[in-house]
Amino acid sequence: MTTATLSVEGRRASRARGQGLRSLVMRHGLLVPCLLFMAFVFVWPIVALLAKGVYSPEIRDGLPQTAVAIAGWTGEGNPPDAVYEALVADLRTADRRDVANVGRRLNYEIPSYRSLLIKTASKLENAPAGPARSI
């Protein structure tokens, strides 16, 4: 084989590689937008619903002092007095709508919790100051 034959074969191979790359891009050129569309239309809503199902800020936003006080509790035994004091302070300062939102969220876990929180908040408006456990 001479060098002229090698250079001609090399050009043919290079041209074939270039055409293969072009045909690969042409074949998959419409695949990328299709995959992006599917991710946006199908995957994003599912991920958003799953995240919304786990994320629940109602209690943290409605009872901020209680959320901070309860974070220090280990969960064993009764909560410390600071948790009761924080709950009473939050219920006294919260709007009725905030108490209803917290109660609605807690009502998913424990039935009739919404009405219990609303009644407790309304009774705390007239209750005298004192230890929170006794109120």
Tokens found for residue 93: 């300062």
Q: Same domain, yes or no, for 49 and 94?
A: no
Query: What pLDDT is recorded for position 15?
Result: 56
pLDDT for 122 beyond 70: yes
Q: Same domain, yes or no, for 128 and 64?
A: yes
Q: Same domain, yes or no, for 17 and 80?
A: no
Per residue in 51-80, pLDDT (tens digit) is: 888 888 888 889 999 999 998 888 888 888
| Pure H helices in the chain | 3-28, 31-38, 44-54, 58-62, 64-71, 81-93, 96-107, 113-126
> What is the Cα–Cα distance from 43 to 119, expressed in whole angstroms?
43
Q: Same domain, yes or no, for 49 and 112?
A: no
Q: What is the DSSP letter of 80?
A: P
Query: What pLDDT is recorded for position 130?
Result: 64
Domain carrying residue 47: 3-54
Q: Same domain, yes or no, for 18 and 62?
A: no
Domain count of the fold of the chain:
2
Per residue in 4-48, pLDDT (tens digit) is: 555 555 555 555 555 677 777 777 777 888 889 988 899 999 999
